[in-house]
Amino acid sequence: MAEIVSLAEAVRRAIHDGDAVAMEGFTHLIPFAAGHEIIRQRRRGLTLIRMTPDVIYDQLIGAGCARKLIFSWGGNPGVGSLHRFRDAVENAWPEPLELEEHSHAGMANRYVAGASGLPFAVLRGYNGTGLAEVTPTIAPVTCPFTGEILTAVSALAPDVAVIHAQRADRAGNVQLWGITGVQKEAVLSSERAVVTVEQIVDVLDPRPDAVVLPAWTVTYVAQVPGGAHPSYALGYSARDNDYYAAWDAISRDRDAFTSWLAVLMKSAL
Amino acid sequence: MSDGYSSDEMMTVSAARVLRDGLTCFVGIGLPSAAANLARATHAPGLVLIYESGTIGAKPGLLPLSIGDGILAETADAVVSVPEIFNYWLQPGRIDVGFLGAAQIDKFGNINTTVVGGDYGRPEVRLPGAGGAPEIAASCREVIVVVRQTRRSFVDRVDFVTSVGYGSGPGDRERLGLTGAGPRQIITDLGVLEPDPETLEFTLTGLYPGITIDAVREQTGWDLAVSASPQVIAPPTADELTALRDLHARSNTA
Same domain (yes/no): A135, A262: no
Rounded to an integer, the average pLDDT of B108-119 is 96
Active site positions of B, annotated: 52
Do A125 and A139 have their domain in common? yes
d(CA B226, nearest CA chain A) in Å: 28
* Amino acid at residue number B143: V
The predicted pLDDT at position B18 comes to 97
Which pLDDT does position B84 carry in this prediction?
98
DSSP, collapsed to helix, strand or coil, labels residue A81 as strand
Query: Are residue A120 and residue A7 in the same domain, yes or no?
Result: no
Provide the percentage of residues in chain A whose pLDDT is more than 90: 97
Is the domain of A252 the same as that of A123?
no
Cβ–Cβ contact A85 with B under 8 A: yes
Cα-based torsion angle of the residue sequence A223, A227, A232, A238 in order, rounded to the nearest 10 degrees: 90
Condensed to tens digits (0 to 9), the pLDDT of residues A182-193 reads 999 999 999 999
Name, in order, each residue with C-beta under 8 angstroms of A238's C-beta and a sequence gap of 6 or more: A232, B70
- pLDDT score recorded for residue B252: 65
Q: Say which CATH number the domain at A232 has.
A: 3.40.1080.10
With respect to CATH, is domain B7-241 assigned 3.40.1080.10? yes
Q: Can you tell me the mean pLDDT for A134-155? A: 97
- What average pLDDT does chain B have? 95
- CA of A95 to nearest chain B CA: how many angstroms apart? 13
Which residue in A124, A141, A232, A244 has the most chain B C-beta atoms within 10 A of its own C-beta, making it the best mutation to test that interface? A124
Cβ of A86 within 8 Å of Cβ of B177? The answer is no
Average pLDDT, chain A: 97
Nearest CA in chain B to A234: B70
pLDDT value at residue B114: 97
Note whether B87 contacts A124, CB cutoff 8 Å.
Answer: no
Give the domain extent around A109.
Answer: 104-154
pLDDT at B66: 86
| Chain A contact set for B124 (CB, 8 A) | 90
Yes or no: say if A147 and A183 are a contact pair by the CB < 8 Å rule: no
* Sign of the four-CA dihedral B137, B142, B146, B152: positive
- Domains in chain A: how many in total? 2
Strand ranges (E), chain B = 24-27, 48-51, 55-56, 78-79, 97-100, 104-106, 111-112, 115-118, 123-126, 142-146, 154-155, 183-187, 191-195, 202-207, 226-232
Looking at the partner chain, which of A27, A72, A128 has a beta carbon nearest the beta carbon of B172? A128
What per-residue confidence (pLDDT) applies to A13? 98
- Nearest Cα to Cα of residue A139 among A102, A171, A172, A111: A102
Q: How far apart are CA B7 and CA B148, in angstroms?
A: 9
Beta strands in chain A, from DSSP E residues, in sequence order: 3-4, 20-23, 46-49, 66-71, 75-76, 80-81, 98-101, 120-123, 138-142, 149-154, 160-169, 174-176, 192-201, 211-213, 220-223
Q: Is residue A254 pLDDT above 80, yes or no?
A: yes
**Do A26 and A75 fall within a single domain?**
yes
Domain match, A191 and A235 both: yes
pLDDT (average), residues A87-92: 96
The larger pLDDT score, comparing residue B26 to residue A208, is at B26
Interatomic CA distance for residues A241 and A246, integer angstroms: 9
Structural domain spans, chain B: 7-241
Please give the average per-residue pLDDT across A228-239, as a whole number: 97
High-pLDDT (> 90) share of chain B, %: 90
pLDDT at A269: 67
Which residues in chain B touch residue A127, judged by CB atoms under 8 angstroms apart?
Answer: 138, 164, 176-178
pLDDT tens digits for B20-30? 999 999 998 77
The answer to whether B66 contacts A78, with C-beta atoms less than 8 Å apart, is yes
- Partner-chain contact A131 B123, CB within 8 Å: no
B229 versus B171: which is more confidently predicted?
B171
Q: Which range is least confidently modeled, A183-187, A197-201, B59-63, B107-111? A: B59-63
B124 touches chain A (CB under 8 A): yes
Query: Which of B54, B123, B176 minimises the CB distance to A90?
Result: B123
Structural domain ending residue among the three candidates A154, A188, A219 = A154
If asked whether residues A93 and A175 sit together in one domain, one would say yes
Query: Quick one: average pLDDT of A165-176?
Result: 98
Calculate what percentage of chain B has a pLDDT beyond 70: 98
Q: Are residues A127 and A168 in the same domain?
A: no
Q: Model confidence at B31, in pLDDT bands (50, 70, 90)?
A: confident
CA–CA dist A230, A30 (Å, integer): 8
Q: How far is B34 from chain A (nearest CA, A)?
A: 11
Interface check B57 vs A, CB under 8 A = no
ipTM: 0.96
Instruction: Kindly report the nearest CA distance between residue A9 and chain B, in angstroms.
Output: 30
Query: pLDDT band for position B2 (50/70/90)?
Result: low
**Non-local CB neighbours of B116 within 8 Å, separated by 6+ positions:** B103, B104, B123, B124, B125, B127, B159, B160
Taking an 8 Å cut-off on Cβ atoms, the answer to whether B54 and A181 are in contact is yes
- Please indicate, yes or no, whether residues A77 and A64 belong to a single structural domain of this protein: yes
Query: pLDDT value at position B85?
Result: 98
Q: Reply yes or no on whether the pLDDT at B254 is more than 50.
A: no
**Are the CB atoms for A46 and A75 separated by under 8 Å?**
no
Looking at the structure, do residues A187 and A219 belong to the same domain, yes or no?
yes
For residue A141, pLDDT over 70 is answered with: yes
Residue range B136-163: average pLDDT? 97
